[in-house]
Amino acid sequence: KLSGYKIILDIIEDNRFIRSGWEAVLQADKNFNLVGSFLDCETAFSSDVPQKTELVLMDIGLPGMSGIEGVKYLKQKFPSVLMVMCTVHEDSEEIFEAICAGAVGYLTKRTSPAELIKALIEAYNGGSPMTPVVARKVISSFQNFQATASEKRISELNEREQQILNLMAQGKSYNTIADEVCLSIDGVYYHIRHIYEKLHVHSRAEAVAQAI
């Protein structure tokens, strides 16, 4: 609840019909003070509006500077400004990039006026509003990101380390692994320490999970 306080916000959206619709919705709502409405980031950032704004509602597919670059710029110059992104295409990679860059919420342009108002107030109050389809895509992107990071770390293992990790994944004991790779048990432990360091794990179970 805002107790009569008006959230100071501005809009960056190149589609004039969508921009006009957002303007009408926000100007009619008692919770908001719309201080600027722009068709691109360059125009918005060359004005004095960003320094007095608390929240920005921004399209991701903008001409010139993209919404993702816009988020990065605002995060660097005005770190306290909250940014909620809006999209048509729901591209999961773009969504993930925008959130990593600093956006606090992500909506589709099919969001109804009532849902838009609710989402912006939620963002102002510390939440991370996302439409369900976007939330699913973010989770999927994060899972893919984790998998890619694991693959990259595993690729950094040398041939002997990958061989030992593969035997660990097969459930073989350290003594059996030592026999199969023709090393002493201490030699196996030496390689396992390096495997743990490179994979950023602390146990055999974690190492095997990444290998799988």
The string of pLDDT tens digits covering residues 29-68 is 999 999 999 999 999 999 999 999 999 999 998 999 999 9
Sheet strands side by side (includes 105-108): 32-38, 7-12, 55-59, 82-87, 105-108
- How wide is the angle at C-alpha 181 spanned by C-alphas 179 and 187, nearest 5°? 85
DSSP state of 110: T
- Percent of the chain residues past pLDDT 70, beyond the cut: 91
**What are 202-205's contacts with CB under 8 Å, separation 24+?**
204/168
For every residue of 25-92, which 3-state class applies, written as one string? HHHCCCCEEEEEEECCHHHHHCCCCHHHCCEEEEECCCCCCCHHHHHHHHHHHCCCCEEEEEECCCCH
Q: What is the pLDDT of residue 105?
A: 87
Residue 199 identity: L
pLDDT in tens, the chain (212 residues): 456 689 999 999 999 999 999 999 999 999 999 999 999 999 999 999 999 999 999 999 899 999 999 999 999 999 999 999 988 766 667 777 887 788 888 888 888 999 999 999 999 988 888 877 777 777 776 667 667 777 777 788 888 988 888 888 888 888 889 999 999 988 888 888 888 888 877 777 777 777 66
Q: What is the pLDDT of residue 101?
A: 82
Helix H or strand E segment including 122: helix 113-124
**Whole-structure pTM over 0.75, yes or no?**
no
Q: What is the pLDDT of residue 90?
A: 65
Q: What is the pLDDT of residue 83?
A: 93
